[in-house]
Structures are given as C-alpha cells and as structure tokens.
Amino acid sequence: MLRVTCDSCGKEIDKGVDHHVLKLEVYIANEPSDLTEDDLDEDHLEAVSELLQQQPGGEESLCDSSYTRKRYDLCPACRRRFLRDPLGLAASTKLHFSKN
C-alpha cells in the first residue's frame, strides 16, 4: 500500500481522499531573435562544444543552472492555500515586530 504525505504540512493523506500534485518548472526565458542567413551558415555544434568547454563543471553545471523540475503532493487544504498565494507573499508581509 502506497502512503502519501502532504509535502507542505506533513500530514498523511488517507486512502480514498483526493490529493493534488503540484508540478513546478523553472527555466530561463529566452526571447527568440530574428533568424538571419548568417545564423543558418553558422556551425551550431561547434558553438555548443565551445560553450561547454568554457563552462566550469561541463555540461552538468550548465543544465543544472538553467532548468529545474519539482513535484509535490498536496492535501486539499494546502492546495487551497497554495492557489490563494502561490509565491507565499502574503505570509511574508504578516510579520509584526515590536519596537524595542
């Protein structure tokens, strides 16, 4: 039997109770430029090879910094909380410190 736990609050989600999957992808936004004749003539494999050689850590570090994929299981309450404030901005503004 598979046990599912909410990745936000840590509660175990009972069998038969719907749970929700949150898939998150973070990647560099590229604005495509206009394609020119020079772009078509360029050797792109050689350019990629040079880029990988210049990158400390090689191909792995280049890929790690530009793309991240995560998956989270959420209970119904945490799903509602996430949809209300996906970036957690409301929680960070509710802190009130004393003036001492």
Determine the Cα–Cα distance for residues 14 and 6; give it in Å rounded to an integer. Answer: 10
Q: Most distant CA pair in the chain: distance in Å?
A: 67
DSSP 8-state secondary structure symbol assigned to residue 16: T
Least confident of 58-62, 80-84, 92-96: 58-62
Q: For residue 61, what pLDDT is reported?
A: 53
Contact 7, 73 (CB under 8 A): yes
b/e string for 61-74 if b means 16 or more Cβ within 10 A? ebeeeeeeeeeebb
Determine the Cα–Cα distance for residues 28 and 34; give it in Å rounded to an integer. Answer: 19
Please report the sign of the dihedral spanned by the C-alpha atoms of residue 9, residue 12, residue 18, residue 23: positive
What pLDDT digit, counting tens, does each position of 3-48 carry?
A: 899 999 999 998 888 899 999 999 888 777 777 777 777 777 887 7
Q: Is the pTM of this model over 0.85?
A: no
**Average pLDDT estimate for 58-64:** 54
Is the per-residue pLDDT at 55 higher than 90?
no
